[in-house]
Structure 1
Amino acid sequence: MWQFLKNLPFIRLFRKQAIDTEELKEERWVADFSKPHKARFVPETGPTYESSIGKQGLALALKKGLQFAWVEDPLYRYADLIIEGKIRLEAQGTYGAAGFQFRRADDSSYYSFLLSTKGYFRFDVLFNGTTMPLIGWTEAPDFHSSEGEYNSVRIIALGDKFTFIINDKWAGEIVDDTIPSGKLAFAVVSYEEADPETSTGQGNITGRLQALTVDSRLIEVEAVHLRWNRFIKIDEKARFRLAETFLAMNQPLSALVQIKRIWKTAGAPRSQQELLFAARCAMQLSLYEEAEEYLDHCLEADIDSEESRNALAEKAKLLYLQSRYADLEEHAKGALEIFPQDPLLHTLLGHAYINLGRPDLTAEAYDKALSLDNENALIAQNAGSAYERLGDDKTALERYLLAGRLFLNTENYNDLALVIPRVLDLGSNDPRSHSLAGKYYFAIEDFHRAEKELALADRVGDESGTGETSADAAAGAGGTGGIGASGGPIGLDPAVPYLRALLLIKKDKRKAALALLKRAVELAPDSAIFHFRLAENLFLLHQNPKEKELWDHINRVFELQPDDGWTLNLAAQVALKDGNLDSAKAYLEKAAALLPKEAAVRMNQAELAYLHGNIDNALLLLNDDAVDDPEGLLAHQAGTILYRADRLEEAKAYFAEALKKCPERLDYLIDQANCLINLGLYGEADTLLAKAYDREENEAVLDLIGYIAYKKGEFPRAEAAYRLALERDPDNTSFLSALAWIYITMARWTSAEDCIQKLEHLVAPESVEYESVQELRERLLMGTTRLVQCASCSRNWRVPLEPPAAPPLRLVAEPPDELPAGTCIHCGKTYCIGCAKQSLDASGRFVCPTCGERLKLYDEGLKKLIADWARGASY
């Protein structure tokens, strides 16, 4: 009977229906966080985040900084909806935000609302992985910043219209139709690392959602939307804050709409602040008549206020934009009677004069503006142009130089590029012009032109005996790595020799750079960066950790900047080189505290660990993801340490990782090639070295190419590599020795002899290296001669392997005993004259003591010995 009943249709009504998670749902749902199985959100734990549900609601904790995480309601999709929730952030001293993602199509497309720990909210849309800000960070009304307090958030999404209510106060609105529907998620983001002194270890930031209501019933959504946008009075301050955000986002139309809505609903008259703001919006929209009307009303309200001063300047700009130069002159003169110390009004008056064809008054107006705002490079540039029109090139140059220095200090290279041609044209014989140009080209990494201009600054300065004061040099050195100086008049900007030295160092010409760095220090003895670079160069050049001059400059930096992390790091390197590990440790502890994320400091810490015998700890230091290492320095250092420990396979992997980050870096290519060579992987090493050679025709690269070619039996290629290397370094004994071995292997004896002779000239006889030269000489001798020995005594002779035919001999004197007497035709034994004298036949000729056969000089090599003696040679 039951079997029959359960198959009836009405019985199936009692079965639980399957949930369609892609259904577009219209419902009112209140999350019950006290019953996790009814909360919809699913707790999950990842390596850097964790979500949980409890009596206090939904919690999403981030275990590390600089990340964005969310937990999703997996059930339904919503289109029009109202989201109401109470949010709290436990930020533990760091900066972050929490909020909602809604209309989530997937992880790459959704709307995002966030409320930050600083009391600001923002609204964005992410579409196909691209973020588009809709409302930038805007102050939230009545934000509750106290620990433990929740902020209530209500989001109303009706079609393409979005309204945001924070703590029951209207906060913002926007229109956007990018995404029509999707799911809901609670999100938390951390914008910085946790403070190690305040972090509890329970997460960098924890976002809590205490209560959540979602209503997607269309009628209810429309009703709430109307209530908050039509019937509830919106705070004018909130609208104005939103308008300011839109203008900052370069959306003047949206900003002007908000201002006009304030005026539409407000009973009070328009304020000066609102009128001035509206005018600026209208000007950006090229609504000049409307903007002028707002400005005039602003001026009518209170002519002495700060808003009126700004309105006068804005109206002057408005007249300038409309090319109404006569009106601009009249307006600016009148405005200056009220605000005579306003540099902008003087500048705009200058604009009017220059367009009215009055350069004398233009220069006067610009100079007045510059006296009131002496850090404004654009005013100085305009003044230079005005004086140039007047034909006063000397004053024009001074204004252009001032503008150039100011642009350089603020790293405004686009405007500086416009000044440089005028400076070089007007001041071709002024060292300051070439100095400024050199700094500019150095800053934009046009090193070839920088080198040319800096050299000209040096030469012209020496010829003219004039230059900047060191204070000028310091002011003009911004944007070039913190160059500065102080003191009295000097003959040359100290930045010139300093930058010239840096350019030489880039070419690995540290020895040539040394004199220039010393010159820079002499010109600016109180510049810490100059002393640091000189000390660094001395150390890398001489590798002498006990050098007094090196420590003099390091200690001078400590006097000028006691807590300079980079100098502490350099001092640690010097101590490591000296084997003073305790001092290195002390320096590195201070450097790491000042530069905790710098790869260079971490590399020295790893080197210290390696020297203590702890390779694993060294690798642990170098494998820290918290250290920013875009150039692969840490991976390369790990490879270097493993290479030195003869763990070549592991070293190879780290070298490859470093090369992946910087595939064109020459030292990475060379070190990986060396590692591959030691592993016997000559083909792979050859490929890397070919790439390195394309990058730079470096002697070290050629040396390795030659070595591999020799090992592979490609002797002509090995020869070519070493000959190219010797063209760059003719007296390099290592290259000469390698080339000599190649020639010996190829049986090119004359070429080998040339190399050996050069080596014998270059290498000191008492040195260890001389033994290698002697070995080469021995190998050459063995390769070109053969040994002939007297069969009776120990006397022997070296004769050429392939001697030329000796000429007929005619002896006029008796040869000495040490020369060969001849060889026995029968037994093949050779005897010296001294031994052969013991066996003579009846006619007094030499005969073999063993066979009795006559000795003959049929060996061409032995003949040559006798012939040489006959010509007067001595042995």
Structure 2
Amino acid sequence: MLKLYIDYFKRKLKNLRKPKKEIPIDFEEIVEEQWQADFSRPETCRFTTETGDGYTAAFLPPKDGQKAGIKVEAQRKHLYAWTVNQVFRYKDVIIEADITLPNRGGLAVDAAHQADKTHQTDEKQPEQQKAGSFAGGLLFRYISQSTFYALMISDAGWVRLDAVVNSTPMPILGWVKIPELNTSETKPQDSCYSVKIIANNTTITIIINGHWIACCEDDTIQAAGKIAFAVQNWETYPQAAVVLSRFALDSFPMTVENTYTEANDFAAVPPEARISLAKTLYAMGLYVPALLQLRAAARLRDPEEADRILAGRIYFAQRLLTEAETEFQTVLAANPSNEEALTELGGIYYRDERYADLQQLLAKVPQSLMQRSAFLSNIEGHLFHALGKHSEAAQSYSRAFQLEPAQGLFSLHQANELYNCGNKPEAVEAYIQAARVFLQQEAYADLSEVITILERIAPDNLKTISLAGKYAYTRGDYDTALLKLKAVCKKGSEDSSDWYLYGLLLKTEQPKEAVKALKKACALEPEYGLYQFRWAEALYLTGGRYKPVLEKALAADPGNGWVHNLCALAALDEGDIPQAEAAMTEARRILPDEIALLVNYLEIQRQKGKLADCLPLFDIEGGTADLTVERNRAAAFHALANAFADDGAYEQAQPWYYKALKLDPKNPELLTDKAENDYALFLLNEADDGLVKALDIEPSARIYQLIAAIAVQKGDYARAEITLRTGIESFADNADLRYDLVCLYRNTKRLEQARTQLTELQHYEDSERVEALTQALGAGMHTATTLADSPLDDSGKKAAVENPDAETPLETQPSKSGTADTKGAGTKTADSEEETQEAQKTQVSRESASRKKAAPRKKAPSDKK
């Protein structure tokens, strides 16, 4: 017994000496706490420091009086990145933070691009120019990378709130201007915003710099989530960074409820804040909430004219015409010359067909105001139209159009009234004037309506035919466009854009005629750089004297990256690699995200023997990737793979084809290029599989050629024959398929069939290879010794491996693109002062120097735009 007691107490003492195990903290737990970040050390701030795809999140220690914090930097354009506070989750919470955005004057602007216009606010709010160029903010109730709330503040001082679900942002609050702080005369270099977010059940209250911005109701995300600090960069700056220097939260339910109640107390919210919110809600189409904010503001102060006009517009948008009329009448009672109220009230009367009231209203309008107001002139035209006074209506619409030349509808209304008066010649001119505006603005529905009228009342007018041709061109109906533009050019059109578009339409089928047309366009408008460029390009493609014209194009439009691209191609043809590289560098500086220029750059480096030195440009993970690669990853990897293949480095090309296919697995051209590379490596089954996939997606003559070549390599001549015949049925004009079929018959000793197909081939092609084949068949030769590209016996199966650049039995190593080609163009109407330039993408040939034949690249619709 004694021994048992002793053993018992020994075990007790031993257990007492053991250290107690710490209970692990569950960072996914939903907690109630009051916590403030300690930015003195990285370990105490909870936010993760990391480096990701195009962004970094780093800890900033206190330095030179600058506060410590977390800095998130976007290292490229069009990037949305964040760092997550990994500790705990919160649903109802008060978040307070100080966010600093750098002064825009200290950031490097990408001169090749205009300021970002993606995030402009609604044009109904003239004081709101645009949201900005980059933004920083907080994500909360962060469930995953695709689900969270996001409050973002832009560098221009605007704030917005979004619910992001499945990576799709749904605006809860559009851009709202943050009230300016009362600062000293010397403003700080950077903008610091004190942000307070109160997330209480389904309400989110936003307070910035002590100003109440909004209290939003939304039930999209009601689960608890984490908190993150984010940066969003758009188009203007190549890099942007934001800093979080203070962060605190409180998730005790009682505190959250009390703070929410206090922040949204009716008397605590200034009327100006409610009116600003109402403007944003109206722009978002949330009419009832906007009206409620206006009514709440009216309880705190008497409505101003702008408030009543906004209220009237909200009522009008909801078809509450009586209430809208009351608001506008109230404004006019105090200020009879208020143009906005007069216009809006006139619109109500016209919509409600109250022409007597409209006539009385316009009679009160001062004549000076009527003469300078396009919208009142338009309303007056509507009134005269309703009264059957077509001549007076035409005059009013004409005045409106003169005041607002960008409003093509004014000219269309004028034309209708002139036609109703029986003044057909002036009506035709007004219709043409309206059509030109619609064409320039790409308002194709209105343009179609006007052209239909013109073709009915003035079908032989050259301007009518010209407009119809341009409209057909914009729709991609190039056959009709060619017919129309050819007609006007033959009749001596003096419209330079007619000749320009006519030249673009001719450049593929009749390149020499295209040169003449483009030359005429330049003669009519010699200072327009785009015309000079296109003329130079056409001369370059046809072997003409392009250099003087190219110099003129460069002088007229030095900011056109495609002109520099053409200079690079010209230098490359002459073997001047340094000049080609310099011109291409400038082209890529101006157009940094164009994949066509990357293709040409790789060709220059390939000819320098420096293709391997380009690999860092494609290193996404290493952070050295080129902007073009980042934005067009699949196409960029495809281009690099093709460049290696052109260089004969088939093994090096293979992994890049795989990377490209992983991102774009259904691209038929990519599948075909990969299959050709497989063929060069004698991976016949893999090549066959890829070609069958490509054939299902989009058949091409090149695919049929390669499948036939693989079949020959496998000894399956029956399949090769069927494949080529099927290809000829689909691509009857393709001489290469017919040539390969002749070679197949000849080398399988079916001479009669070979001669029959040769006769067909001679209708489509007259060349040295056809002549050689004719002589060989005429001499009754059955071996492949005469034609280097026709050894179809089994002994040639390994030719692709031993000499991958040698021509195949069916000459089925077609190039992946044709010779220098052009994608895109600009269009310019005769009376448009605005130069509308679309991408002109001239690519070097994908044909390697060792290959002897290049099948023409499939022409995309964009080649003619």
TM-score interval for Structure 1 and Structure 2 normalised by the shorter chain: 0.7 to 0.9
Q: Which moved more, 1:340-349 or 1:640-649?
A: 640-649
Question: Does residue 1:567 correspond to 2:567, yes or no?
Answer: no
Write the distance in 1 (CA, Å) between the matches of 2:703 and 2:85.
60
Q: Is the 8 A contact 1:740 1:776 kept in 2?
A: no
Structure 2 vs 1, CA of residues 579 and 42 (structure 1 numbering), >3 Å: closer, same or farther? closer
Which residue identity lines up with residue 419 of structure 1 in the other structure? Answer: V
Paired with 1:606 and 1:537, the residues of 2 have a C-alpha distance of 24
> Which position in structure 1 is the counterpart of 2:228?
186
- Matches of 1:123 and 1:279, distance apart in 2: 27
| Correspondence for 1:470 | none
Q: Give 2:308's match in structure 1, choosing from 275, 288, 304.
A: 275
One of 583, 607, 610 as aligned partner of 1:611: 607
Deviation at 1:7, TM superposition (A): 10
Aligned 8 A contact 2:489 2:498 in 1: no
Q: 1:423 aligns with which of 427, 448, 454?
A: 454
The alignment status of 1:534 with 2:535, answered yes or no, reads yes
- Within the candidate set 738, 741, 747, 1:745 is matched to 747
Identical positions, percent: 29
Give the alignment partner of residue 101 of structure 2, picking from 89, 108, 111.
89
Aligned in 2, Cα 1:523/1:281: closer, same or farther, shift over 3 Å?
A: same
SS of 2:307's equivalent in the other structure is helix
Q: CA deviation at 1:373?
A: 2.3
Deviation, structure 1 residue 42? 5.0
Q: Aligned pair in 2 of structure 1 residues 102, 761: CA closer, same or farther (>3 Å)?
A: closer
For residue 592 of structure 1, what is the aligned residue in structure 2? 588
Where does residue 175 of structure 2 map in the other structure? Answer: 137
Cα distance in 2 for partners of 1:512, 1:683 equals 46
Q: Which has the larger radius of gyration?
A: 1
Candidates 472, 485, 500, aligned match of 1:498: 500
- What residue ranges of structure 1 are gaps of 5+ in the alignment? 9-13, 466-489, 784-875
- Partners of 1:339 and 1:428 in 2: CA distance: 40
Alignment of 1:152-301 (within 5 A): 152-192=194-234, 204-210=240-246, 212-230=247-265, 233-266=268-301, 269-301=302-334
Q: Distance in 1 between matches of 2:643 and 2:606?
A: 7
The residue aligned with 2:652 is 650
Find the counterpart in structure 2 of residue 119 from structure 1: 157
CA distance in 2, matches of 1:46, 1:782: 61
Q: Could you report, residue by residue, the CA deviation over 1:156-206 in whole angstroms, capped at 9, with x for unpaired residues?
A: 23333332222222222222233334234131213147957xx7xxxx414
Residues 728-739 of structure 1 aligned to structure 2 (within 5 Å): 738-739=740-741
Change (3 A) 1:744 1:23: closer
Equivalent residue, structure 1, for 2:138: 100
In structure 2, the partner of 1:468 is: none
- Counterpart residue type for residue 70 of structure 2: A
| Aligned residue number for residue 327 of structure 1 | 357
Cα deviation, 1:196-233, whole Å, max 9, x if unaligned, reads 7xx7xxxx4142232x3323333333333333332654
Equivalent runs, 1:334-733 vs 2, <5 Å: 334-335=364-365, 337=367, 339-341=369-371, 342-445=373-476, 447=477, 450-459=478-487, 462=490, 465=491, 491-505=493-507, 510=511, 513-542=514-543, 547=544, 549-621=545-617, 624-627=625-628, 630=632, 633-655=635-657, 671-682=673-684, 685=687, 704=706, 707-713=709-715, 715=717
* Structure-2 change in CA distance of 1:261 and 1:346 (3 Å): same
Query: Against the structure 1 CA distance between its residues 272 and 503, is the aligned structure 2 distance closer, same or farther, given a 3 Å change threshold?
Result: same
Offset, 1:436: 1.4
1:97 and 1:114 in contact (8 A); partners too:
yes
* Residues 252-290 of structure 1 deviation map (CA, whole Å, 9 limit, x = unaligned): 322222222211012xx3221222222122211222222
CA contact (8 A) 1:62 1:205 kept: yes
Q: Distance in 1 between matches of 2:288 and 2:616?
A: 55
Name the CA distance, whole Å, in 2 between partners of 1:169 and 1:737. Answer: 78
Q: Which runs of 5+ in 2 are unaligned?
A: 1-8, 109-132, 620-624, 785-865
* Equivalent in the alignment of 2:821: none
| Partners of 1:605 and 1:621 within 8 A in 2 | no
Distance of aligned partners of 1:713 and 1:223 in 2 relative to their CA distance in 1, 3 Å threshold: closer
Contact 1:454 1:496 in 2 (8 A): no
Instruction: Determine if contact 2:672/2:703 at 8 Å carries over to the other structure.
Output: yes
CA contact (8 A) 2:451 2:468 kept: yes
Query: Does 677-686 or 172-181 show the bigger shift?
Result: 677-686
Name the aligned partner's letter for residue 493 of structure 1: D
Q: Is the 8 A contact 1:699 1:728 kept in 2?
A: yes
Partner of 2:148: 110
Q: Are 2:90 and 1:78 aligned?
A: yes
Distance 1:6 1:87, change over 3 A: farther
Q: How far apart, in 2, do the equivalents of 1:428 and 1:393 lie?
A: 13
Equivalent of residue 67 in structure 1, options 45, 59, 79: 79
Cα offset for 1:152? 1.8
Corresponding position of 1:845: none
User: Aligned to 2:220, what secondary structure does the other structure show?
Assistant: coil
Residue 430 (structure 1) shift:
1.6
Between the two structures, name the one with larger relative contact order (CA 8 Å, sep ≥ 6).
2
Equivalent position SS for 2:781:
helix
- d(CA) in 1 for partners of 2:645, 2:722: 29
Name the stretch that deviates more: 401-410 or 577-586.
Answer: 577-586
Q: Matched residues in 1 for 2:257 and 2:759: separation?
A: 99
Query: Whole-Å Cα distance in 1 between the matches of residues 341 and 191 of structure 2?
Result: 42
What is the Cα deviation at residue 405 of structure 1? 0.9
Quick check: 633-642 or 685-694, which moved more? 685-694
CA–CA separation in structure 2 for the residues paired with 1:403 and 1:661: 45
Are 2:344 and 1:314 aligned?
A: yes
Deviation, 1:576, is 0.5
2:57 — aligned with what?
50
Separation of aligned partners in 2, 1:191 and 1:738: 53
Offset of residue 414 of structure 1: 3.0
Structure 1 pair 443–619 and aligned structure 2 pair: CA distance change class (3 A): farther
**Cα offset for 1:131?**
1.8
- Partners of 1:620 and 1:72 lie apart in 2 by 29
C-alpha displacement at 1:572, in angstroms?
Answer: 0.7
Residue 689 (structure 1) shift: 5.8
Contact 1:568 1:590 in 2 (8 A): yes
Within the alignment, does 1:31 sit opposite 2:59 as a pair? Answer: no
CA change 1:782–1:752 in 2 (3 A) is same
Encode CA deviations 1:35-88: one digit per residue, 9 max, x unaligned. Answer: 666544455554632243756454132252343333444444434332222222
Asked if the contact 1:97–1:116 (Cα under 8 Å) also holds between the matched residues in 2, the reply is yes
CA pair 434-664 structure 1, distance change in 2 beyond 3 A: farther
Per-residue CA deviations over 1:375-416 (Å, capped at 9, x if unaligned) read: 310111222222333444433322222111101111222332
Would you say the 8 A contact 1:73–1:183 is kept in 2? no
Query: Would the alpha carbon gap of residues 498 and 299 (structure 1) be closer, same or farther in structure 2, given more than 3 Å must change?
Result: same
Q: Which residue of 2 aligns with 1:818?
A: none
In structure 1, C-alpha distance between the alignment counterparts of 2:764 and 2:37, rounded to whole Å: 88
